[in-house]
């Protein structure tokens, strides 16, 4: 077993919990607490913590830029860490419900204290993001899933890594940049970030510090909203390829040659709006580059555009996959030869409720779309809204 | 809404009016559905912190009553202490089964995504395995509510509740059958999904029935072992008293559950529907059937909690997956909708509803060739048997 992440007290606490559990897992206790089990009663009595592993907790919350919050979190013991660029599903109570949303981790995977940093942007939907931005405080519990995602650097670092991001899409590539700093990476790194105004640059001071520490790297911030660009790296280094006429506005192919000469021939990792990813790919191809451009789609919350059919529907337990034909998920599952439990087929009886690990579904009765990971879904009245996974 | 008919297609004969609302035309039925849908939509959207806090608090209270009741029974050398313990244990058990178990298994709290109240994994503290209950209750009963021959809750296969069921001499024992069902309610419901009456007709897959029987037996054993073996043994010298307390609490819970549930559908003025009413049933007709097949019991807040809000059977049947604590709040509005459409809203105090049910059970012990549904069947030239 690897030691628990991020807490020096974890081994002692684990021993206490294991001892308590042994006491509580005897047959007498099992028979006495049937059919719910002892945990049900401990939670009902408000002492669920006595035997459960302590949850992850927020240890610091700061308002980094307008409309965002940066949370520093101590993961639960046993959380297995992350690779730079990966995301976690964070679950918090919102309005009486446990609600979940995925966030890219912004911190370096090599942090000595084992803490994890997430930067969350309010999106006005009243969901997890808004709740965290408005309410998160040190001490709050927050459940973190294991880190996941293949938007990561190869184990053998390329000689030149290009990282491009815009707005809150900075988080996974910031994790990569921080990781490369901690590794003392010998290769070249080109970091290009777009933000509206200087105040909107997440971790702006740190980017400037990295630029000072690694003069061999290029760390550039382009402002899209104001008239003038501020480049923490470039302003220190003075001059540069585009001295005298700083690029501004959204990503354009000529930004690459102006700011990061030669970058188009190195592999790139891009996170931001769909338009940014497409533009970077186009720029790489226009430069005659065959270097890969990796795009983090997850942070944007899309697999395929919502509302189209032909999206992928995956039934996780059976491993069956099909193309969405627009019919209710129950019908589609049956068309795949699966035989899920069902009752009324009209949304009344809840016999066909299943867990939905990822993706979005639309309720045929209300038109409401649920994109929350792990929501419980009535298959008979739900149709996919883009790619979706169902535990079936 | 009027469909523009294609002149080449045959015009369907107008369907008979809704059995529960013969005075309403299709447009009015649609308007009624829109009114109920609006209530449903609003209440569903409003679910939140208050519902979550409520169900967690109820769970804590139910647990405290059961644990406290058991302790009082064990320590109850004096009679008042013992009986206080029995009442507390029974109340805790009733609340857990009705306000938590029944409602959680309807999926009323799935939106919370709390593993303690998740309908897909919740195993309730009753003999019936949760999966079987969800089939027998959520599917067979709620979907077919009050349809003769389809809704097995019309008498639970042992009590004659409607003259749609042909009279047999054995029905003379109707009151005795009902009393036995009341005394053994939890245990009988434990084997309810075996569909014994359909098994006798060879309509049930024997392998499936076998698996269900085993599951029910296993659950029955675990429940009985807890209440009648483990708890008395833990009471040490007070074991006989603890056993007596367990039996008493179980009996109180059984009779109470029976009484509340029989008051939900069988008082006078509830309507029994026919299988053809299910054909192409519109949303409006569905609401009418759920509404006319149910009856409310009026009472205080603690009374409603002790019935798991099944005292609001009408609201429950209209909105079975809405958190039940909301039924009380929407009841005046539902009643107002009923008044607007000239539909009866059957709400009376417990003694009236239960008396009406008891009278019906007695009456159904005897054949009566001139009951309304017989006249109806005779007029239609059909057989009166269900």
Query: What is the rounded CA–CA span in Å between residue A298 and residue A300?
Result: 5
Which H helix or E strand runs over B302?
helix B301-306
Band the pLDDT of B384: cuts 50, 70, 90. very low
Choose among B48, B56, B123: nearest Cβ to A35: B123
User: Residue A354: CB partners within 8 Å, gap ≥ 6?
Assistant: A340, A376, A377, A379, A390, A391, A392, B120
Query: What is the percentage of chain A residues whose pLDDT exceeds 90?
Result: 52
For range A247-267, the mean pLDDT: 87
Q: Tokens 């501004």 — which residue? A: A248
B48 interaction partners in chain A (CB closer than 8 Å): 95-97
Condensed to tens digits (0 to 9), the pLDDT of residues A85-141 reads: 999 989 999 999 988 888 999 999 999 999 999 999 998 878 899 999 999 999 999
| Portions of chain A given CATH number 3.10.20.30 | 312-390
Answer whether A43 touches B (CB < 8 Å): yes
Instruction: Tell me which chain A residues have a C-beta less than 8 angstroms from the C-beta of B49.
Output: 95-96
Given the candidates 1.20.120.400, 3.10.20.30, 2.40.40.20, 1.25.40.10, the CATH classification of the domain at A312-390 is 3.10.20.30
Residue recorded with tokens 């009985």 = B224
Q: Is residue B381 part of a domain?
A: no
Check if the beta carbon of residue A188 is closer than 8 Å to that of residue A263. no
DSSP H helical ranges for B129-238: 130-133, 174-183, 185-190, 196-199, 206-225, 231-234
The verdict on a CB contact (< 8 Å) between A31 and B230 is: yes
Dump pLDDT digits (tens) for B161-207: 988 888 999 999 999 999 999 999 999 999 999 998 888 888 899 99
Contact B321 A348 (CB under 8 A): yes
Q: Note whether B110 contacts A353, CB cutoff 8 Å.
A: yes
Q: Report yes or no: A360 and A386 within 8 Å, Cβ to Cβ.
A: yes
Binary contact (B321, A99; C-beta < 8 A): no
Are A36 and B223 inside 8 Å of each other by CB? no
**pLDDT over 60 at B7, yes or no:** no
Q: Hey, what are B152's tokens?
A: 């097995």
pLDDT digits (tens, 9 = 90+) for B50-107: 999 999 999 999 999 999 999 999 999 999 999 999 999 999 999 999 999 999 999 9
Report, as an integer, the average pLDDT of A370-387. Answer: 91
Closest chain A residue to B318, measured at CA? A348
With 60 as the cut, is the pLDDT of residue A309 above it? no
- Per-residue confidence band for B321, with pLDDT thresholds at 50, 70 and 90: very high
Q: Where in chain A is the domain with CATH 2.40.30.10?
A: 57-144
- Structural domains of chain B, count: 1
Q: Percent of chain B having pLDDT more than 90?
A: 84
Q: How many Cα neighbours within 13 Å face the side chain of B10?
A: 3
How many Å lie between the alpha carbon of B256 and the closest alpha carbon of chain A? 22
Q: B272 lies in a domain?
A: yes
Strands (E), chain B: 296-298, 347-349
Q: What is the mean pLDDT of residues A184-198?
A: 93
At A171, phi and psi to the nearest 5?
-55, -50
Phi and psi, residue A145, nearest 5°: -75, 165
Show the CA angle centred on residue A20, arms to residues A50 and A34, nearest 5°: 85
Give start-end residues of each CATH 3.40.50.80 domain in chain A. 160-300
Cβ-proximal residues to B253 (8 Å cutoff; 6+ apart), any chain: B90, B93, B94, B97, B186
CB atoms within 10 A of CB B60: 15
Q: What pLDDT score does B376 carry? A: 55
Contacts (Cβ under 8 Å, ≥6 apart) of A355:
A374, A375, A376, A377, A390, A391, B120
Question: What tens digit of pLDDT does each residue of A7-60 get?
Answer: 445 577 777 777 887 888 888 899 999 999 888 888 877 777 777 777 899 999
Query: What local confidence, expressed as pLDDT, does residue B77 receive?
Result: 93
Burial classification of residue A19, based on how many CB atoms lie within 10 Å of its CB (0-12 exposed, 13-18 middle, 19 or more buried): exposed
Short-list A175, A156, A350, CA closest to A267: A156
CA distances from A176 to A171, A231, A278, B237 (A): 9, 19, 21, 68
In this prediction, residue A45 carries a pLDDT of 75
Classify domain A57-144 by CATH architecture.
Beta Barrel (2.40)
Answer yes or no: is pLDDT of B378 > 70. Answer: no
CA-to-CA distance for B336 and B384, rounded, in angstroms? 36
Helix (H) or strand (E) holding A385: strand A382-390
- Is B310 at the interface with chain A, CB within 8 A? no
Q: What is the pLDDT of residues B251-298, one digit of tens each?
A: 999 999 999 999 999 998 899 999 999 998 999 999 999 999 999 999
Identify the top-confidence range among A216-230, A361-375, B52-66: B52-66
Segment B304-308 mean pLDDT: 95
The label of the residue with tokens 């970077």 reads: A280
- Domain span at B209: 129-368
CA pair distance B5, B1, nearest whole angstrom = 12
CATH for A160-300 (3.50.50.60, 3.40.50.300, 3.40.50.80, 3.40.50.1110) = 3.40.50.80
Q: Which of A381, A384, A319 is CA-nearest to residue A356?
A: A384
Q: In terms of DSSP H, where are the helices of chain A?
A: 10-24, 27-33, 38-44, 128-135, 170-183, 204-213, 232-237, 253-259, 274-286, 329-335
CA distance B209 to B207: 5
The answer to whether B197 touches B204, Cβ cutoff 8 Å, is no
Residue A311 has pLDDT above 80, yes or no: yes
Look up the ipTM and state it: 0.80
- Indicate the residue of B41, B56, B119 with minimum beta-carbon distance to A366: B41
Residues of A with CB below 8 A from B41's CB? 366
Place of tokens 């049900």: A40
> CA B47: distance to chain centroid?
23
Is residue B107 situated within a structural domain?
no
Return the top range by mean pLDDT from A51-65, B8-22, B36-50. Answer: B36-50
pLDDT tens-digit readout, B102-143: 999 999 999 998 889 999 999 999 999 999 999 999 999 999
């Amino acid at each position: 077993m690897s030691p628990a992440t991020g807490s020096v007290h974890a081994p002692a606490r684990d021993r206490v919990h294991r001892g308590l559990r042994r006491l509580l897992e005897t047959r007498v206790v099992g028979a006495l607490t049937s059919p719910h089990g002892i945990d049900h009663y401990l939670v009902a009595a408000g002492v669920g913590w006595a035997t459960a592993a302590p949850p992850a907790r927020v240890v610091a919350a700061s308002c980094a830029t307008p409309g965002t919050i940066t949370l520093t979190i101590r993961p639960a013991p046993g959380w297995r860490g992350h690779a730079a660029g990966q995301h976690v599903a964070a679950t918090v109570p919102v309005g009486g419900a446990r609600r979940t949303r995925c966030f890219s981790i912004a911190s370096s995977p090599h942090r000595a204290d084992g803490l994890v940093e997430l930067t969350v942007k309010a999106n006005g939907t009243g969901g997890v993001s808004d709740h965290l931005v408005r309410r998160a405080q040190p001490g709050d519990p927050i459940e973190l899933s294991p880190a996941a995602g293949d938007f990561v650097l190869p184990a053998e670092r390329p000689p030149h890594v290009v990282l491009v991001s815009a707005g809150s899409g900075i988080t996974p590539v910031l994790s990569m940049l921080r990781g490369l700093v901690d590794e003392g990476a010998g290769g070249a790194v080109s970091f290009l970030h777009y933000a509206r105004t200087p105040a909107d640059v997440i971790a702006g001071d740190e980017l400037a510090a990295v630029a000072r520490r690694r003069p061999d790297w290029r760390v550039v911030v382009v402002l899209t909203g104001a008239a003038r660009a501020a480049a923490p790296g470039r302003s220190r280094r003075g001059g540069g390829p585009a001295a005298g006429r700083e690029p501004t506005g959204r990503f354009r192919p000529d930004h690459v040659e102006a700011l990061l000469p030669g970058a188009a021939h190195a592999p790139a990792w891009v996170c931001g709006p769909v338009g940014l990813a497409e533009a970077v790919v186009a720029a790489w191809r226009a430069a005659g580059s065959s270097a890969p451009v990796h795009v983090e789609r997850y942070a944007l919350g899309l697999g395929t555009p919502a509302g189209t059919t032909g999206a992928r529907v995956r039934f996780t337990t059976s491993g069956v996959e099909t193309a969405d034909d627009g019919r209710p998920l129950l019908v589609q599952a049956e068309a795949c030869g699966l035989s899920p439990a069902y009752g009324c087929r009209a949304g009344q009886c809840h016999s066909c409720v299943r867990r939905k690990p990822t993706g979005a579904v639309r309720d045929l009765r209300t038109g409401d779309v649920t994109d929350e990971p792990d929501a419980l879904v009535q298959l008979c009245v739900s149709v996919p809204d883009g790619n979706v996974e169902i535990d079936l | 809404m009027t469909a523009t008919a294609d002149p080449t297609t045959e015009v369907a004969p107008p369907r008979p009016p809704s059995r529960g609302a013969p005075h309403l035309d299709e447009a009015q039925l649609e308007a009624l559905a829109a009114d109920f849908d609006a209530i449903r939509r609003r209440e569903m959207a409003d679910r939140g912190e208050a519902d979550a806090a409520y169900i967690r608090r109820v769970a804590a209270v139910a647990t405290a009553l059961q644990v406290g009741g058991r302790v009082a029974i064990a320590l109850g050398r004096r009679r008042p202490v013992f009986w206080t313990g029995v009442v507390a244990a029974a109340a805790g058990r009733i609340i857990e089964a009705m306000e938590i178990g029944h409602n959680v298994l309807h999926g009323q709290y799935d939106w919370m995504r709390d593993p303690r109240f998740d309908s897909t994994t919740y195993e309730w503290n009753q003999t019936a395995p949760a999966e079987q209950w969800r089939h027998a209750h959520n599917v067979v009963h709620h979907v077919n509510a009050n349809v003769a021959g389809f809704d097995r809750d019309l008498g639970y296969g042992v009590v004659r509740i409607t003259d749609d069921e042909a009279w047999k001499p054995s029905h003379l024992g109707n009151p005795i059958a009902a009393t036995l069902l009341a005394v053994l309610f939890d245990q009988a419901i434990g084997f309810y999904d075996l569909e014994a009456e359909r098994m006798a007709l060879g309509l049930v897959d024997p392998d499936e029935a076998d698996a269900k029987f085993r599951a029910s037996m296993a659950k029955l054993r675990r429940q009985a072992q807890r209440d009648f073996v483990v708890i008395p043994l833990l009471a040490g010298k007070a074991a006989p008293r603890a056993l007596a307390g367990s039996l008493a609490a179980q009996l109180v819970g059984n009779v109470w559950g029976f009484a509340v549930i029989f008051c939900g559908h069988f008082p006078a003025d509830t309507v029994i529907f026919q299988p053809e009413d299910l054909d192409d049933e519109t949303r409006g007709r569905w609401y009418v059937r759920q509404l006319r097949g149910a009856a409310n019991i009026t009472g205080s807040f603690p009374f409603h909690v002790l019935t798991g809000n099944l005292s609001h059977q009408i609201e429950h049947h209209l909105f079975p997956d809405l958190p039940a604590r909301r039924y009380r709040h929407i009841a005046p509005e539902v009643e107002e909708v009923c008044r607007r459409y000239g539909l009866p809203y059957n709400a009376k105090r417990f003694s009236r509803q239960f008396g009406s049910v008891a009278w019906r059970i007695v009456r159904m012990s005897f054949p009566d060739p001139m009951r309304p549904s017989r006249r109806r069947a005779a007029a239609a030239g059909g057989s009166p048997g269900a």
